[in-house]
Amino acid sequence: MTKKSLRKYSKKIVDGVEQAPSRAMLRAVGFKEGDFKLPQIGIASTWSNITPCNMHLNELAIEASNGVESSGAKAVIFNTITVSDGITMGTSGMRYSLVSREIIADSIEAVTAAQGFDGLVTIGGCDKNMPACAMAMARLNRPSVFVYGGTIKPGPKKRDIVSVFEAVGAISSGKISQQELLEVERTAIPGPGACGGMYTANTMASAIEAMGLSLGNSSAQEAVSSNKLIDCHKAGEAVMNLIEKDIRPRDIMTKKAFENAITVVIALGGSTNAVLHIIAMAKEAYIDIGLEDFTRIGKRVPVLADVKPSGKFLMSDLIEIGGIQPLMKRLLGAGLLHGDCITVTGMTLEENLRNVEDYPSNQEIIMNFNSPIKEDSHLNVLYGNLAPEGAVAKISGKEGLFFKGNARCFDSEELALAAILNDKIHAGDVIIIRYEGPKGGPGMREMLSPTGAIIGKGLGSEVALITDGRFSGGSHGFVVGHVTPEAAVGGPLAMVEDGDQISIDAKTKRIDLLVEQTTIDKRKEKWIRPKSDITRGALAKYRATVTSASQGAVTEASSW
């Protein structure tokens, strides 16, 4: 098979007399005469100096490019945007976070399809750009490999970004001084890499690896490490193998592969955001994955990893004992993974794991099946008259399995946070934060500022929080998000009033407003949707096209 026959897309851009203008422009960016006869591989980098998660990705893109060119292809690096959740958290800027997932996927699609790349390496470093990369890979369906930018090294006393959010709550209740807060702020983020616990970044990197879209242990390497550079180089080489074997993302992203991803997320105690993103990625791959799949798989998969936010250890600790590959081998041995799924190595998952060694016998991070952190999933899909189309709770069991209390209603995150910090929230309260859903926000903000403040004030086991928004992977406590239908479309959450009793039951998977239906109906008759000053731009477009959280909060064009 000649290299020319591998140029399914790029030959349309550079071959023939009529494409001389294209070749002229490419010569100016570094193409040599022989490069026009080679397959072209796009390297989609989410590098920016906006956030520590992405600040080092340019080096990784260059190393991936070197891997591509050592395998006999031509690499072309291009960039896309990213938005920092950690920096925008608690502000109106956070509305753009989930929106950025769609923008990133769209931009990778646009560049790759327009430029005629024959293959693709995508490099993501934080929460939204990783699922966005996978969504674009599925949409384009050209031979592709995903590379995770890697996790951050921990700060002193194993601090991370969540330590800072919780310190904000602690200072408001007098538990720490201003000087102590400043010390935490100055030391929590020591350099490049994604947030260090099993928050959304590490969760999604693990899910994407389990799905087969990245090389072994790509999800479990520190951002600043020789292993991460090797991973990038090998990813560049792997694309040519995929092109030669004609293995494409949708060959890898099967129903079984998504089930593997869900299984690994549960075993790791991963973020609720994985529910949104896995459903969104599945839609791009034409695979039917929904809330019911998380419930079905969650009944038989235990939580095995004692990792933050609810546990003790960071991703860097897991890396030291072997990463997620030994965990996947254990899950495979227990019959909880599909070993016959093809991966970006060109081999099956079972073949990839064959020579993986088990964890050291004295490690304390990954529990055995006979003594799990939780016997079934921590990701509880709840239904009831408050969430007839579903809601997602992250309940490890440490905060209990049942909560009943009186509603305290807030029509924005800011109002709720102010009440928490000003000691207006008390034990037994059920905090309602509404009009923060995909359409209501718009943008479905994360609630790390309120949940961090609750934990910092010592109320983690004494109050509950319910929202049609979502949660950072760093949130923990008795929290329920993704409530659908959301308040902005007249969902039941909009009908709750202060003092109403609400029950949350993780055992029966119920979330209910304990008010007569006739009363709820009367309230709905009087309900008026709050006005919004967002009438144009990215947020307005998003609001007009976004689906519900239970459908992955993806944007869908209307038919024409």
Q: Which residues are catalytic?
A: 472
Q: What angle do CA 422, 401, 472 make, to 5 degrees?
A: 55
Compute the Cα dihedral for 42, 48, 51, 52 and give only its sign.
positive
Compute the Cα dihedral for 256, 258, 264, 267 and give only its sign.
negative
Phi/psi of residue 75, each to 5°? Answer: -100, 145
Give the separation between CA 411 and CA 82, rounded to whole angstroms.
Answer: 28
Compute the Cα dihedral for 194, 250, 277, 510 and give only its sign.
negative
Phi/psi of residue 144, each to 5°? Answer: -150, 150
417 is written with which tokens? Answer: 């946070």
Integer CA distances (angstroms), 326 to 210, 232, 353, 372, 463, in order: 12, 21, 8, 16, 37
What is the SS3 assignment for 293? helix
Phi/psi of residue 504, each to 5°? Answer: -125, 120
Q: Write out the H or E segment, with its range, that includes residue 134.
A: helix 129-140
Q: Is the peptide bond before 309 cis (omega within 30 degrees of 0)?
A: yes
Displacement of CA 219 from its chain's centroid (Å): 13
Q: Is 516 exposed, middle or buried (0-12, 13-18, 19+ CB in 10 A)?
A: exposed
Give the separation between CA 400 and CA 161, rounded to whole angstroms.
Answer: 25
Q: Is 335 left (phi over 0), alpha (psi -120 to 50) or beta?
A: left
State the maximum Cα–Cα separation within the chain, in Å, rounded to a whole number. Answer: 76
Contact 46, 61 (CB under 8 A): no
- For 333, residues 6+ apart whose C-beta sits below 8 A from its C-beta are none
- DSSP for 144-183 reads EEEEE--BPPP-GGG--HHHHHHHHHHHHTTSS-HHHHHH
Give the separation between CA 138 and CA 136, rounded to whole angstroms.
Answer: 5
| CA-closest candidate to residue 406, choices 429, 432, 431 | 429
Instruction: For residue 504, list its beta bridge partners.
Output: 403, 511
Strand order from edge to edge, sheet including 144-148? 74-79, 40-45, 119-124, 144-148
Residue with tokens 């897309």: 9
| CA-closest candidate to residue 139, choices 110, 114, 180 | 110
Give the separation between CA 136 and CA 486, rounded to whole angstroms.
Answer: 27
Q: What angle do CA 433, 438, 444 make, to 5 degrees?
A: 50
